[in-house]
Chain A
């Protein structure tokens, strides 16, 4: 049975697997009438993300058409994308753009 990943916005560089995937599994993305296939470079459970293009260290991870964090290392097309290679740098900011107190990294 075909395994799918969901791409949400055309600007996204990751898609979300909706099946448990093993290394070498092929994931199909249906988007706006087109079908594209990607090979998983690592094991990846249901609900986790796969890179659909190469993403360099420091570049934005884009989902829902918006940045959700930055790549903390180089990511290859087909790689599992999660906390091991993405930095979450979100902080609540004051009006001047400085982090409010009490937020550890």
Chain B
């Protein structure tokens, strides 16, 4: 098994080769969409943030946009700024530039409206595609792989098949020197102490517990005990007895692989290779964005009932252990592991198969979500009030 990816100047390796159009604020989304439609090879990273945040969220949105631009699946980036927003376009531009890839910026207020900005921006984007589309895939070691993971539209089969199979991939790929990013603080709730035990040091492990406390306290601030919204009547009817049981089933996406560290939302791991826990939520849009900003080039997305969404710059593979869903939602499911439920394949065997499949996606095979254009939506996590 070999990984063939796009080499980047910072030593990282991409699974895709996009020119990213990055709005510094949601106000210019329409304009960004026009350029995306005009110029093949571009991909718009539309979001609705960038303004009227508390400072901490402005910093979080800025970090997210920079790190999305730095994602190895991005060959070049064009930042599109309005001109009055809180996220400073230059900061995003300079941040992405650190990676050595081509970056440029256009500003709507300076250029005088949509048509002038498109005129300049589309030309820049077209030239970026012209220059970067010839980059060839090269052979690299499996240590260059960075995978993210989440579970969505889960059911009873998730904790018994797809999550366990993904956990096996985590074990295999980190043994080979790769990075694996897991999170979903809402799903960790109940299993935080199990993850702390797996952490290589106490301090990083305590940060995982702190993230759960933070989520609980933010819920309490709006009058909710979020433990209850995590454990639903449907979960109980499906056979889940306690919140801890549910959390352990979600945690299983990383098996018992040691945890190297805790990452803030959209933070790129700087420590040794291995498994990391990021403070991303369960909600798919913000979740996949956090994973992509963390540098994941492929996302392993487990599902039970069939979650269709992907991400604009990071292919998301849907893996499902529910035999009925694998038929009814076949438009959206990439990998079928109902075999683990009906005992015709072991978790270890399915894990090896899924690992090989994920590498094939890293090598260029398209996911269902990509083929269906079911991957244009995304959002950036903010934590404070919208002003």
Query: B239–A16 contact, CB under 8 A?
Result: yes
Let me know if B220 is at the binding interface, CB within 8 A.
yes
Query: B252–A64 contact, CB under 8 A?
Result: yes
Contacts of A53 in B (CB 8 A): none
A88-B227 Cα distance, complex, nearest whole Å? 11
Query: B242–A68 contact, CB under 8 A?
Result: yes
A103-B377 Cα distance, complex, nearest whole Å? 35
Most buried by B among A6, A83, A100: A6
Query: A90–B243 contact, CB under 8 A?
Result: yes
A8-B248 Cα distance, complex, nearest whole Å? 11
Let me know if B213 is at the binding interface, CB within 8 A.
yes
Query: B343–A69 contact, CB under 8 A?
Result: no
Partner of A8, one of B164, B191, B342: B164
Let me know if B382 is at the binding interface, CB within 8 A.
no
Contacts of A86 in B (CB 8 A): 241-242
Query: B220–A68 contact, CB under 8 A?
Result: no
A44 vs chain B, min Cβ distance (A): 9
Query: A68–B248 contact, CB under 8 A?
Result: yes
Q: Which of A1-27 contact B (CB under 8 A)?
A: 4, 6, 8, 16-18
A66-B189 Cα distance, complex, nearest whole Å? 14
Query: B241–A46 contact, CB under 8 A?
Result: no
Query: A47–B241 contact, CB under 8 A?
Result: no
A11-B6 Cα distance, complex, nearest whole Å? 44
A46-B190 Cα distance, complex, nearest whole Å? 23
Given contacts A92-B189, A102-B225, A104-B225, contact A18 B342 (CB under 8 A): yes
A24-B160 Cα distance, complex, nearest whole Å? 24
B291 vs chain A, min Cβ distance (A): 23
Given contacts A64-B252, A86-B241, contact A16 B160 (CB under 8 A): yes
Query: A4–B213 contact, CB under 8 A?
Result: no
Query: A45–B239 contact, CB under 8 A?
Result: yes
Which A-chain residue is minimally distant from B194 (CB atoms)?
A66
Let me know if A48 is at the binding interface, CB within 8 A.
yes
A-facing mask of B169-193, CB < 8 A → 1, else 0? 0000000000000000000011100
B-facing mask of A39-54, CB < 8 A → 1, else 0? 0000001111100000
A4-B242 Cα distance, complex, nearest whole Å? 22
A26 vs chain B, min Cβ distance (A): 15
Query: A66–B213 contact, CB under 8 A?
Result: no
Contacts of A6 in B (CB 8 A): 160, 341
A94-B26 Cα distance, complex, nearest whole Å? 38
Query: B216–A100 contact, CB under 8 A?
Result: yes
Let me know if A56 is at the binding interface, CB within 8 A.
no
Contacts of B160 in A (CB 8 A): 6, 8, 16, 18
Query: A88–B242 contact, CB under 8 A?
Result: yes
B247 vs chain A, min Cβ distance (A): 9
Query: B212–A92 contact, CB under 8 A?
Result: yes
Q: Which of B210-246 contact A (CB under 8 A)?
A: 212-213, 216-217, 220, 225, 227, 231, 236, 238-245
A90-B227 Cα distance, complex, nearest whole Å? 9
A44-B238 Cα distance, complex, nearest whole Å? 11
A78-B220 Cα distance, complex, nearest whole Å? 40
Contacts of B191 in A (CB 8 A): 66
Which B-chain residue is minimally distant from A16 (CB atoms)?
B160
Given contacts A49-B239, A100-B213, contact A92 B244 (CB under 8 A): no
Query: B225–A68 contact, CB under 8 A?
Result: no
Let me know if A57 is at the binding interface, CB within 8 A.
no
B-facing mask of A79-105, CB < 8 A → 1, else 0? 001110010101111100000111110
A20 vs chain B, min Cβ distance (A): 11
Contacts of B240 in A (CB 8 A): 47
A67-B220 Cα distance, complex, nearest whole Å? 26
A-facing mask of B31-52, CB < 8 A → 1, else 0? 0000000000000000000000
Some 30 contacts from A to B, beta carbons below 8 A apart, are A8-B160, A8-B252, A16-B156, A16-B239, A17-B239, A18-B341, A45-B239, A46-B156, A46-B239, A47-B157, A47-B239, A48-B239, A64-B252, A65-B256, A66-B194, A66-B244, A67-B244, A69-B245, A81-B241, A82-B241, A83-B236, A88-B242, A90-B227, A90-B242, A92-B216, A100-B213, A100-B217, A100-B220, A103-B225, A104-B225
Known A49-B239, A100-B213, A103-B227; further 13 A-B contacts with Cβ < 8 A: A4-B343, A16-B239, A18-B341, A46-B156, A47-B157, A48-B239, A64-B245, A81-B241, A88-B231, A90-B227, A90-B244, A92-B213, A92-B227
